């Protein structure tokens, strides 16, 4: 069916086009035209007060709607996570497992691979957050599972996770340069995090080619006068990107504002979302605006990508177009997937209708 979606504006991922329509047919974008240029053979739906924008991408989420993937390693967990993602305008996600047993990691890789092979939508792959992290900055991670990498174990994850294992968070000071380079050479998106690296150690890792860092400020060596740490190294490096959790809990909104001013296009959003669960290795307790472990340790957010956008605009003061990029364009650039993070003729129909006044999701076209 030929469909035309007319809104007050279309944000393509690059340009903000006033009073334009996106044309689709068979789930592909066939045109982006002014209102007066809509072909007569397209069924028209008008969306006043709405903005059309690329669908969002979340590179770090653990579960949703009562299902934590690392505990319930099954399709139902992935389907629940995808449904949660969709509620916040996110159509592509990287399912994440925090530091865990090797057995659980391998089972998670297997299940994620079967899910992807079955043709189900949404899942980009698996993000292993650990186990090669620094115990000093473990946060909510389980210390007994933290280890240093061996070439043999990395090879096992790569072999078992071919096409599925896409991303890893590691502490660069806990890993040899050879291991880090090997992971990157195999196409794995390496992110520095849960790290107590010094400024020089972090800078060396970024110069080595690590392209991004995990949840800026959280579980990393801070910026101090005599020890600028990983935070300082991220600020100073011209290429390193970082995710940030824009909930005002994990990171103060003023810190997000300052970081955006310094980093510009290098900062992007993740949800780091978990869900309430009272069993397994990771128990998460809902505390109204966050999740904690039973002992009170901050363990995850209750954010969606849409609430990240709303906070960015209303609490941080980031312009809407730039906040949209932080939810889509910038994570897509890390994935190096030309089909994601934009609305383009010949590309997939994968976009959102967002009410511009309330910054709430009206509809997903996907």
Q: Which stretches of the chain are DSSP H helices?
A: 75-87, 102-117, 151-160, 177-185, 199-208, 229-236, 253-263, 305-311, 320-327, 329-335
Classify 19 in phi/psi space as left (phi over 0), alpha (psi -120 to 50) or beta. left
Cα-to-chain-centroid distance, residue 39? 37
**End-to-end alpha-carbon separation of the chain, Å?**
14
The Cα angle at residue 255 between residues 298 and 234, in degrees rounded to 5: 90
Residue among 272, 289, 295, 337 flagged as catalytic: 272
Verify whether residue 41 is a known catalytic residue: no
- Tokens 């979340």 belong to residue: 58
Is residue 190 within 8 Å of 168, Cβ to Cβ? yes
Is residue 243 within 8 Å of 263, Cβ to Cβ? no
Q: Which active-site residues does the annotation give? A: 272
């Amino acid at each position: 069916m030929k469909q035309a979606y007319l809104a007050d504006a279309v944000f393509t991922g690059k340009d903000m086009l006033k009073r334009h329509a996106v044309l689709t047919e068979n789930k592909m974008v066939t045109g982006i035209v002014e209102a007066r240029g809509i072909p007569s053979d397209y069924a028209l739906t008008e969306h006043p007060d709405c903005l059309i924008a690329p669908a969002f991408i979340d590179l770090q989420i653990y579960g949703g709607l009562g299902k934590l993937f690392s505990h319930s390693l099954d399709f139902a967990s992935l389907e629940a996570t995808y449904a949660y993602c969709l509620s916040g305008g996110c159509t592509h996600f990287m399912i994440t497992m925090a530091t865990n047993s090797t057995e659980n990691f391998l089972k998670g890789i297997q299940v994620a691979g079967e899910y992807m092979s079955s043709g189900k939508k949404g899942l980009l792959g698996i993000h292993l957050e650990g186990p090669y992290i620094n115990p000093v900055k473990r946060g909510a991670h389980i210390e007994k599972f933290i280890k240093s990498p061996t070439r043999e174990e990395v090879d096992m994850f790569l072999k078992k996770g071919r096409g599925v294992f896409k991303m890893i968070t590691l502490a660069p000071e806990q890993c040899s340069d050879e291991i880090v380079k090997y992971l990157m050479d195999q196409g794995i998106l390496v992110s520095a995090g849960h790290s107590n690296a010094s400024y020089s150690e972090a800078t060396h890792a970024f110069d080595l080619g690590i392209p991004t860092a995990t949840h800026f400020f959280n579980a990393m060596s801070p910026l101090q006068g005599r020890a600028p740490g990983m935070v300082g190294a991220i600020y100073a490096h011209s290429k390193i990107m970082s995710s940030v959790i824009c909930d005002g809990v994990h990171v103060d909104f003023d810190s997000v504002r300052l970081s955006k001013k310094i980093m510009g296009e290098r900062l992007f959003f993740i949800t780091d979302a978990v869900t309430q669960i009272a069993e397994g290795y990771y128990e998460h307790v809902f505390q109204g605006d966050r999740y904690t472990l039973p002992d009170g340790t901050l363990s995850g957010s209750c954010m969606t990508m849409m609430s990240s956008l709303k906070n960015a605009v209303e609490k941080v003061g980031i312009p809407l177009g730039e906040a949209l990029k932080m939810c889509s364009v910038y994570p897509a650039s890390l994935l190096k997937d030309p089909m994601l993070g934009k609305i383009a003729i010949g590309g997939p129909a994968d976009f959102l209708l967002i009410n511009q006044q309330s910054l709430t999701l009206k509809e997903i076209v996907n």
